Chain A
Amino acid sequence: MSEKPKFAMYWSGSCGGCEIAVLNIGEKILEVDARFEVAFWPVAVDAKVKDVEALPDGDILLTLWNGSIRNEENEHMAHLLRRKSKLLVAFGSCATEGCIPGLANLAPLGEIFETVYHTISTDNPQGIHPQPVTQVPEGEITIPALKDRVYTLSQVVDVDYYMPGCPPESHQIAAVLDLVFQVLEGKAQLPPKGSVIGAGGSTVCDECPRARNVKTIKAFRRIQEVAPADPALCLLEQGIPCNGPATRSGCDARCPRAGAQCIGCYGPAEGVIDYGARLMTAFASVIDATEPEEIERILDGIPDPAGQFYRFNLADSLFKAGAPAFKHNGH
């Protein structure tokens, strides 16, 4: 009797949204159940780490990994699941590019520490900070130390495929699963290793139904100053900083359809080396001014440039972090 191939889904420094996106494929989850044995998926099944350790190497056919590498445990699990999996997919923005929690790379780790255990509602007169190792009367308790900054999955292990999105949209997940089922039946081939899957090759602008004209931006404005925006016209043209021009397609431009600017969760478009740099180019190209003072005035309309351009992508950008993140290195 042939055994079903094994499937795993694991979350590291993540929010669980990718798990929900997978559950949102609806009835198709039953097909996953029919074709795979779910070997490890902490949100849904009770298999433990020791069960994974006991598997032979390469025994899990497909592992969807969501979450960034934020602490030592995340890195340990990345190496473990890499060993035990034939195919490892960096699933979702945290795994592929660090995602929003990657913004922690703009600050020194020590300062972050001082914030949390001393907030206005925290009662901590002894200034206690959680430790990787604590002696309690009964023995030793260990919690994983944090790494110096947020890393992406491919920065610590070899990755086979990348699936962008925060989270990847469910119709894309369903399409990828359909491809996997076809491959299992010998009816299709896997794309080349290292490919981006479950997304388009263009930008969000291509999927956006709003009318686009030649852009001549005289001001960038905050969405609450413009609302309600003209529902038929490009948001960027209305001065709202929309990240569509540099962001990979695949999401069907859902946010702009609903009146909200694209914030870039599908990561860089095809062929882009640094997401923020490309978005800067796009915005700069459409600003309608030639005098430095006028340009600066228009740029004042983007009050948080680092966040605007690297919201999801900082950990995977050319710089990977802001300068303060390296303070403890003595640099």
Chain B
Amino acid sequence: MERITIDPITRLEGHGKIDIFLDENGDVANSYFQIPELRGFERFCVGRPVEEMPLLTNRICGVCPEAHHMAAAKAADAVYHVDPPRTAKLLRELLYMAFYCTDHTTHFYALGGPDFIVGPDAPVAERNILGVVHKVGLEIGGKVIQMRKYGHKVVEMIGGRKVHPATAIPGGVTKILSEEERKEIEAMGRWAIDFALFSLQAFNDIVLSNKTYLDLILGDVYYHRTYSMGLVDENNKVNFYDGKVRVVDPDGKEFVKYEPKDYMNHIAEHVEPWTYLKFPYLKKVGWKGFVDGKDSGVYFATPLSRLNAADGMATPRAQEHYEKMYATLGGKPVHHRLAIHWARLIELLYAAEHWVELATDPEITSPHVHNKPTEIPTEGVGIVEAPRGTLTHHYWTDEKGLLTKVNLIVGTTNNYAPIQMSTNKAARALIKGGKVNEGLLNMIEMAFRAYDPCFGCATHSLPGQMPLEVTIHNASGEIMEVLKRD
């Protein structure tokens, strides 16, 4: 069978390759989105002291280390059964909001956005952040650079460094915020709100007002009806740092809401031999393959799914845009995958507004930033929303606090089945009669870019020396038999 290979996939974090098989008519028979990388955090973190996990798991991903830093800190708090003081939580969350702003900005302008701003089949040389700057001008390019600078500056001020922050420890944080720093952070946050509003306006002007793009968003090529997952606070509003995990079904009805420590009852991971990454699914629905619908355990965990799973945004201007998006797209829940880009910008606005709320909290500069753990460490779960999806860190330790076991379900991993499905559907819809060009292949890549994947994150795990294994598939690709030789 003829095969087209996209290698590597680009404008995302991590490694991947897509193999598309064409039948005798030149139509797509099937496609496979493979993840070729693995490093093994779940194994090599065993034996390490739990207070190092916020530092070690940073290296799962240098694009979203802040997410791992926070999930690890929360898991370490849970392991020690210690509750950090309010100021420590405020500081962690403030760092996190600034990070969200910078990360969502990087994705919209440098990773996924260029497809809309310069066009999906623009010349390869222009289809990137540099092309975006050429097209929209240096002034806007300068704003993007400024937002990233501000976001990382806050991460550095609270976390010590711009990439791989260092200050979250079990029981709190290591650094007190000065009033001078607080003022600077507040000012940057107010600028960020304006930038988020500007970005939403730009999305409206460049994407929503362009009929071709609007058709792409509303069309069927990038559409899947699945469950949606996201963290919500006690009012069921979107929260990135803390809360309960809420899942709604394809019709928008609440399916389950669980506490972090209970994730095991709800999520399981499926394995395929042709890729190193596993496919999480809802345990209570079951794995039915790469299919849509209420009877399939496939769910997605992205900005759009977070907005689907929540009842609203916790800050006023983000709430306005939340309502506007759903009004435009025909109500909740929305399953048009390219709308994730829109939801991402609404989250950018919420993160900026909440940044200012936290920076103006009277306790943010308090010196009480740590509560010493007093109990014997045992086991704990920490969950945050990474920009790319719900992030779960689960640790077991011995009585000295050295890790004996680690389980990680990372943001993008949640989305692996939807990504496989989205690229498959796009490939089938776009490639007909063997007609393929570079722009078309890029439009297939657009299907995964909406999810803002982070495959470095997803592939924290590491398999070992592979014994010989033969898997026998039936015509539907289901595994009928597995023969092994060790």
Contacts and interface: CB of A to CB of B under 8 A. Distances in A.
Co-complex (A, B): yes
B464 A227 contact: no
6 contacts: A30-B133, A33-B133, A100-B44, A122-B278, A130-B274, A257-B160
Contacts of A46: 10-11, 124, 127-128, 442
B452 to A, nearest CB: 12
Nearest to A114: B464
Interface in B40-66: 40-49, 51-52, 55-56, 58-63, 65
A101 interface: yes
Interface of B: 1, 3, 6-15, 19, 21, 29-30, 32, 34-49, 51-52, 55-56, 58-63, 65, 80, 106, 110-111, 124-125, 127-130, 133, 138, 141-142, 145, 148-149, 152, 156, 159-164, 166-167, 169-176, 263-264, 267-276, 278, 280, 283, 287, 367, 369-370, 372-373, 394, 400-402, 405, 407, 409, 442, 454, 456, 461-467, 469, 471, 473-475, 477, 479, 482, 484
Contacts of B156: 254
A15 B14 CA distance: 7
A22 to B, nearest CB: 10
Contact of B62 (A15, A30, A119, A328): A15
A132 B466 contact: yes
Given A48-B10, A104-B43, A138-B29, A260 B401 contact: no
Contacts of A113: 462-466
A11 B400 CA distance: 36
A209 interface: no
A156 interface: no
Among all A-B residue pairs, the 9 with the closest Cβ atoms: A17-B62, A113-B464, A258-B160, A259-B174, A138-B21, A109-B464, A260-B166, A116-B461, A103-B44
A185 to B, nearest CB: 22
Given A70-B39, A227-B370, A126 B479 contact: yes
A146 interface: yes
Interface of A: 11, 13-21, 23-24, 26-27, 29-30, 33, 38, 42-50, 70-71, 73, 99-101, 103-104, 106-117, 119-124, 126-132, 134-139, 141, 143-146, 148, 166-167, 169-170, 222-225, 227-229, 251, 254-255, 257-260, 263, 265, 303-304, 306-307, 328
A128 B471 contact: yes
A132 B482 CA distance: 15
Given A15-B60, A16-B62, A131-B273, A112 B11 contact: no
A258 B264 CA distance: 36
A316 B476 CA distance: 46
A23 B440 CA distance: 28
B420 to A, nearest CB: 12
B21 A139 contact: yes
A33 B125 CA distance: 11
A250 B449 CA distance: 35
B270 A222 contact: no
Given A228-B370, A263-B166, 15 more contacts: A23-B148, A44-B10, A109-B464, A115-B43, A116-B40, A116-B42, A121-B267, A122-B278, A127-B484, A131-B273, A146-B464, A224-B169, A227-B372, A260-B174, A328-B465
Nearest to B277: A130
A255 B456 contact: no
A130 B164 contact: no
A258 B174 contact: yes
B65 to A, nearest CB: 7
Contacts of B62: 14-21, 167
Contacts of A260: 55, 160, 166-167, 169, 174-175
Contacts of B169: 223-224, 227, 260
Nearest to B157: A258
B174 A223 contact: yes
A303 B407 contact: no
Given A135-B473, A136-B473, A304-B48, A143 B276 contact: yes
B276 A101 contact: no
Contacts of A115: 40, 42-43, 461-462
A23 B151 CA distance: 13
B14 to A, nearest CB: 7
Contact of B162 (A135, A148, A170, A222): A170
B465 A141 contact: no
A143 B145 contact: no
A257 to B, nearest CB: 7
Contact of A254 (B21, B30, B160, B275): B160
B273 A228 contact: no
B8 A42 contact: yes
A45 B10 contact: yes
B174 A227 contact: yes
B124 A259 contact: no
A48 B7 contact: yes
Contact of A29 (B44, B56, B145, B407): B145
Contacts of B111: 43
Contacts of A21: 62, 162-163
A317 B371 CA distance: 37
A24 B99 CA distance: 13
A27 to B, nearest CB: 6
A103 B57 CA distance: 12
A122 B283 CA distance: 10
B10 A43 contact: yes
A44 B127 CA distance: 9
A100 B80 CA distance: 24
A138 B152 CA distance: 46
Contacts of A24: 148-149, 152, 162-163
B42 A166 contact: no
Contacts of B138: 30
B274 to A, nearest CB: 4
Nearest to B286: A123
B229 to A, nearest CB: 15
Nearest to A252: B161
A128 B44 CA distance: 21
A47 B441 CA distance: 12
A123 B268 contact: yes
Contact of A128 (B56, B59, B482): B482
A134 B110 contact: no
A129 B51 contact: no
Contacts of B65: 15, 17
